[in-house]
Amino acid sequence: MAQEHRTLRAAAALFTLAALLGGCQSPAQRPDMPDNQSAEPQSSSPLPPAPPLAPRPQRAPPPRENHLSAATSSLVTQARTLIARGDLDAASSTLDRALRIEPNNPLLWIERGRLRLTENDARQAEGCARKALVLASGDRGAQAQAGRLLVDALRAQRRNQEAGEVEAQPFMH
């Protein structure tokens, strides 16, 4: 009896599968027709060429917003705690770990740049800010943060004119 029940269940499953697969055939090619015939009537006169499509207007890509993953968020929190304690070397190592996880996240480059400013390394902070700006494309919030970091790094190097030019950029407003 159990064997018959399994056989019936298997047959029902095969029937269902066949019905599903049969529904996937295109209407132009049916199994009851020879391969060289289609279900659609063929006309003897060729169709006129289709008019060219008008080009679609290009739209700006939707705005992006970068986020930290749970792992990198935890590492950033750790790094900030270490910075508050004055352990800048450990904070730097922690941010390096986060960057190994998400090397293309501009928020991590901003964190690293802020740390470099705290270490009085404005040139490195500038490099981090510029990298973050490139990676933040489309994310106005991250662009503004990276721009603020860049301005601070340039001012720390007494490059005030360049800092003013960055402040005038649209992403800063």
Distance, in Å, from the CA atom of 173 to the CA atom of 166, rounded to the nearest integer, reads 11
pLDDT value of residue 47: 67
Q: Where are the domains of the chain?
A: 72-172
pTM of the model: 0.65
pLDDT value of residue 64: 79
pLDDT value of residue 81: 98
| Residue (of 93, 66, 70, 71) closest to 82 by Cα position | 93
CA 132 vs CA 31, 72, 118, 150: distances in Å: 59, 16, 18, 9
As a whole number of Å, the end-to-end CA separation of the chain is 77
The amino acid that residue 148 corresponds to is R
Residues of the chain below pLDDT 50: 5, 8, 14-21, 23-30, 33, 39
pLDDT value of residue 167: 96
Tell me which architecture the domain covering 72-172 has in CATH.
Alpha Horseshoe (1.25)
CA 21 vs CA 14, 33, 39, 107, 136: distances in Å: 10, 17, 18, 48, 46
Contact 107, 66 (CB under 8 A): yes
Contact 99, 112 (CB under 8 A): yes
